Chains A and B, each alone.
Chain A
Amino acid sequence: MNIKSQKDFFSGLFYTVAGAAFAYGATNYTVGTGARMGPGYFPLLLGVLLALIGAFVMFKALTVETQDGDKIGAWAWKPLVFIIAGNVLFGILLGGLPSFGVPAMGLIVAIFGTTLVVSLAGDTFKLKEVLILAAVLSAGSYGAFVLLLKLQFPVWPTFITG
C-alpha cells in the first residue's frame, strides 16, 4: 500500500490512537444514559468521534493523490532535544528533585543552566556571549519577577540560605 500523504496519514493515526485511548479510558467511568450522563459519557462520545475522524484522515491520505507525497521531512532533533532539556533542567535546578535527593539550586543557577543548554540548540554557540546573556537575563529576571512582581521563587540554593 502506498501512502499518498505522509503528513496526513500520521496525523490520522495520531487522532485514532488518541481517540481510542480516551474512549477506552472513558469506559472505566460510569457512562450513564442521555438524560443522566455519567462522567464517562461525553469523553466516550468524543473519543469515538476522534477515532473515526482519524480513520477518515488516514483513508484520505492513502487514496487522494498529492503533488509531492506531503513528506514529513527530517526532524530537527538538535533544537528539540536541547530546548526541552533546557526546560526540564530549569525545573530540576529551580525546585530540586526531593525524591532523588537533588537539592534546589534556586532561580539564578537555574537561569544560567537553562540559558547554556538552550543556546546549544542554535547554529552557533559562543560561550562568552551565552554567559553574558545569562547574566543579563538573571539580573533582569531578579529585578522584574522577584523585586517588582514579588513572585515566590527560591532565588539561591537551599544549602546556602538554609
Chain B
Amino acid sequence: MELFDNLALGFGVAFTFQNLIYAFIGCLLGTLIGVLPGVGPVATIAMLLPATYALPPVAALIMLAGIYYGAQYGGSTTAILVNLPGEASSVVTMIDGYQMARKGRAGPALAAAGLGSFFAGCVGTLILAAFAGPLTEVAFKFGPAEYFSLMILGLIGAVVLASGSLIKAVGMIVLGLLMGLIGTDVNSGVARFSFDIPELTDGVGFITIAMGVFGYGEIISNLSKPEEDREVFTAKVTGLMPNAEDFKNMIPAVLRGTALGSALGILPGGGALLAAFAAYTIEKKTKLRPGEVPFGQGNIRGVASPESANNSASQTSFIPLLTLGIPPNAVMALMVGAMTIHNIQPGPQVMTSNPELFWGLIASMWIGNAMLIILNLPLIGIWIKLLTVPYRWLFPAIVLFCAIGVYSTNNNTWDIWMVAMFGVIGYTFIKLGMEPAPLLLGFILGPMMEENLRRAMLLSRGDWSVFVTRPLSAGLLAAALLLLVIVALPSIKSKREEAFVEE
C-alpha cells in the first residue's frame, strides 16, 4: 500500500529527536497561547514566524502546525473555564462548556473536549493522508480559470465564517483583496499605491496587518471593557473524567462532529469555525434523551461535538493548502507565508518535490495530537493557574512581543509604524462591527486572484464566459453561489446569528 509507505516515510521524518522536540514546543506554545484570552493562533503564528527563520523548513512547519492545533485545544480550555473564547472556533464550546463548569463539572467538560478532539484529530489525519494524493491529481487539471473560481468559492466560504452581516463581510474581502494589490505589479513592474515609499513597493506585510488588526485591536478593545468582565473564574475543578452516562451521550456526538468537521475542513473557506458552528447546530436539532440536560445549560454533547468538529476540520483544512496551494483560512494563509519564507512554493508539487516535508508534516500532526492529550488532561490545573496572571502584566508583554515580532521580520522600523496604523484600523473595525478575518484571507488571495484572472482572460482572449464554459470552473462557481444562497436564506440566517449569541 502506497499510503502506508508514505506514512512510514512521514513517521520516519517526524520521529527524529529534533522534530519531536519542535512538535512538542509548538503544541506547548500553542496551548499556552490558546489559553490566553484574546490571543488566537493567528497572532501567535504571526509572532513566532520570525523565530522559525533559522530552523530547517520541516521543523519550522511542524512547529507552526503544533501551534495551530495546540491553540485549538487551549482555546477550548478558556472557553469552558472562564467563558472567554481563547480563539474564534471555541465560541460555541463556550455556550454549554461554561455552564458545565459553573455546575462543578469542568472536569468532564474539559475531558470531553480533549478526548473528542483527540479522536477527531486521528480521523482527520488519516483522511488527510488518504485523500491528499488523489486530490493532487485533480489539482493538476486546474487551469487559471479553475483557480480563480476556486478562490471565489473560498472567499464566499470565508463570508459564511463571519458572524455578522453578510454584505459587510463581502466588503472586508474586497478591501483585503485591494490591500493585497499594494506594491509592485508582477506583470508590468509598476509600483501600485506605494506613494513613492520604497518600503511599500514590496507590498504591505502580512504580519503587520495580522498583528495590528488582531493583536493591538483586540487588546485595546479588551482594555476598554470594565475589569469585572475580564474576571476569570477559577473555582476548583474536581472530578476529571466523565461518567458512564456522559460517555453514552458523548460518543455519538463526537462521531457526528468528526464526520462533519472532516467534510467542511476540506472545502476551501470551510475550516474550524464553520465546522464547530454547524456541529453545534446539528446537536441542538437532535432529540434530547430522557433526563438529559437541555442545551445551553451544560449539555456535554454541546461541548464534545463542536470540539471534535473543529479539530478534525483543522486537520483536513491542510488538504487545500498542501494540494492546491490555496489557504482556506487565515492560519493557513500564515502557513503559506512560512512556506514561502523557506522557499517552498505551496501547491501540488510539494508532494513530489518535498515528500519528506509533506508526509513528515502529516505524521507530525498525529504525534501532535497525541502530545496534546498528554499535555492537556493532566495539566489542566496548571492552565487554570496561568489564567490568574493579571491582565495588566499580560498586555504590555503582548504588545512588546508584537513589536519585536514585526521588527524582526525585516529588521526595519518601517513595519513598526505600519503595525501602529493597523492597530488603529483594527480597533475601528471592532467598533464598527466589521469582521477582520475575511480581510486577511482576501489580502493573501488578492495577488493570486489577479494573476489567475489575467491568465484566464488572456487565454480566452478577453471572453468572460470562460469561467462558466469550463465544467470544473462552472461547478466551483455554482457551489459558491449555492453557499451564498443558503447563507442568505432567512431561516439559516437567524440560526446562524442564534448560534453566535450567548445564551
A22 adjacent to B416 (CB under 8 Å):
no
A75 on interface, CB distance cutoff 8 Å: yes
- Expressed in whole angstroms, the Cα–Cα distance for A57 and B432 within the complex equals 12
With a CB–CB cut-off of 8 A, which chain A residues contact B190? Answer: 29-30, 39
Chain A, 61-92, CB within 8 A of any chain B CB? 70, 72-76, 78-80, 83-84, 86-88, 90-92
A interface residue numbers (CB < 8 A to B): 7-8, 10-11, 14-15, 18-19, 22, 25-26, 29-30, 33-39, 42-43, 46-47, 49-50, 53-54, 56-57, 60, 70, 72-76, 78-80, 83-84, 86-88, 90-92, 94-95, 111, 114-115, 118-119, 121-124, 129-130, 133-134, 137, 141, 145, 149-153
Known pairs A15-B171, A35-B458, A84-B420; A149 contacts B219 (CB<8 A): no
| Chain B residue at minimal CB-CB distance from A132 | B393
CA distance A72 to B171 in the complex (A): 19
Q: In chain B, residues 395-432, which have Cβ atoms closer than 8 Å to a Cβ of chain A?
A: 395-397, 399-400, 402-404, 407-408, 411-413, 416-417, 419-420, 423-424, 427-428, 431-432
Collect the chain A residues with CB atoms within 8 Å of residue B423's CB. 83-84, 87
Chain A residues closer than 8 Å to B417, beta-carbon distance: 88, 91
Task: List the 10 closest pairs (A to B, CB-CB), nearest first.
Answer: A76-B224, A35-B462, A91-B416, A34-B462, A79-B223, A95-B413, A39-B185, A90-B403, A91-B413, A118-B396
How far is it, in angstroms, between the C-alpha of A7 and the C-alpha of B193 when the chains are bound? 28
**What are the residues of chain A within 8 A of B193 when measuring CB–CB?**
22, 25, 43
Would you call B216 and A83 a contact (CB within 8 A)?
Answer: yes
The listed residue with most A CB atoms (<10 A of its CB), out of B54, B165, B168, is B168
Report yes or no: B397 in contact with A72, Cβ–Cβ below 8 A: no
Query: How far apart are A9's CB and chain B's nearest CB, in angstroms?
Result: 9
Give 6 CB contacts A-B under 8 Å: A7-B431, A11-B168, A11-B434, A36-B462, A76-B224, A84-B424
Q: A residues within 8 A CB of B393?
A: 129, 133
On whether A83 and B188 interact (CB within 8 A), knowing A19-B174, A133-B396, the answer reads no
Chain B positions within 8 Å of A, measured between CB atoms, are 50-51, 54, 165, 167-168, 170-171, 174-175, 177-178, 181, 185, 187-188, 190, 192-193, 216, 219-221, 223-224, 227, 391-393, 395-397, 399-400, 402-404, 407-408, 411-413, 416-417, 419-420, 423-424, 427-428, 431-434, 449-450, 453-454, 457-458, 460-464
- Chain B residues lying within 8 Å of A42, measured Cβ to Cβ, are 181, 449-450, 453-454
A70 nearest CB neighbor, chain B only: B433
Question: Quick check: A87 and B392 within 8 Å, CB to CB?
Answer: no
**Across the two chains, which residue of chain B brings its CB closest to A74?**
B224
State whether B167 touches A56 (Cβ < 8 A): yes
Q: Which residues of B contact A91 (CB under 8 A)?
A: 403, 407, 413, 416-417, 420
Label chain B's interface by main secondary structure: helix
Residues of B within 8 A of A88 (CB): 416-417, 420
**In the complex the two chains form, what is the Cα distance from A119 to B458 in whole Å?**
55
A-side contacts of B400, CB under 8 Å: 90, 111, 114-115, 118, 137, 141
User: Which of B171, B391, B397, B454 has the largest count of A CB atoms less than 10 A from its CB?
Assistant: B171
- Expressed in whole angstroms, the Cα–Cα distance for A36 and B402 within the complex equals 41
Cα separation A73 to B221 with both chains bound (whole Å): 12
Which residues of chain B are within 8 angstroms of A54 by Cβ–Cβ distance? Answer: 171
A17 to nearest B CB, angstroms? 11
* B416 with A152: CB separation less than 8 A: no
Given A15-B174, A151-B50, 10 more A-B residue pairs with CB atoms under 8 Å apart are: A7-B432, A15-B171, A36-B458, A53-B167, A57-B168, A70-B433, A76-B220, A90-B407, A95-B416, A118-B399
Known contacts A118-B400, A150-B54; A72 and B432 CB within 8 A of each other: yes
Q: Is the CB of A11 within 8 A of B432?
A: yes
B178 x A39 contact (CB < 8 A): no
Q: How far, in angstroms, from A83 to B407 measured CA to CA in the complex?
A: 16
Given contacts A94-B413, A133-B393, contact A87 B402 (CB under 8 A): yes
Partner of A50, one of B165, B178, B396, B399: B178
Task: Chain A residues near B223: list those with CB within 8 A.
Answer: 76, 78-79, 83, 121-123
Of B167, B221, B403, which contacts A57 at CB under 8 A?
A: B167
Interface centre among B404, B408, B424 (most CB of A within 10 A): B404
**Shortest CB distance A135–B (Å):** 12
Query: Which residues in B have their C-beta under 8 angstroms from that of A10?
Result: 432
Which of A37, A87, A137 has the most CB atoms of chain B within a 10 A radius of its CB?
Answer: A87
Decide: A37 near B457, CB < 8 A? Known: A121-B395, A122-B223, A133-B393. Answer: yes
Q: Which residues of B contact A76 (CB under 8 A)?
A: 220-221, 223-224, 427
Query: Which of B167, B187, B417 has most A Cβ within 10 Å?
Result: B167
A141: chain B residues within 8 A (beta carbon): 400, 404
Q: Provided the pairs A39-B188, A91-B407, A118-B399 are in contact, do residues A8 and B168 lie with their beta carbons within 8 angstroms?
A: yes
A152 to B433, alpha carbons, bound, how many Å? 39
Q: For residue A22, which residues in chain B have a CB less than 8 angstroms away from its CB? A: 178, 193
Tell me which residues across on chain B come within 8 A of A80, comparing CB atoms: 220, 424, 427
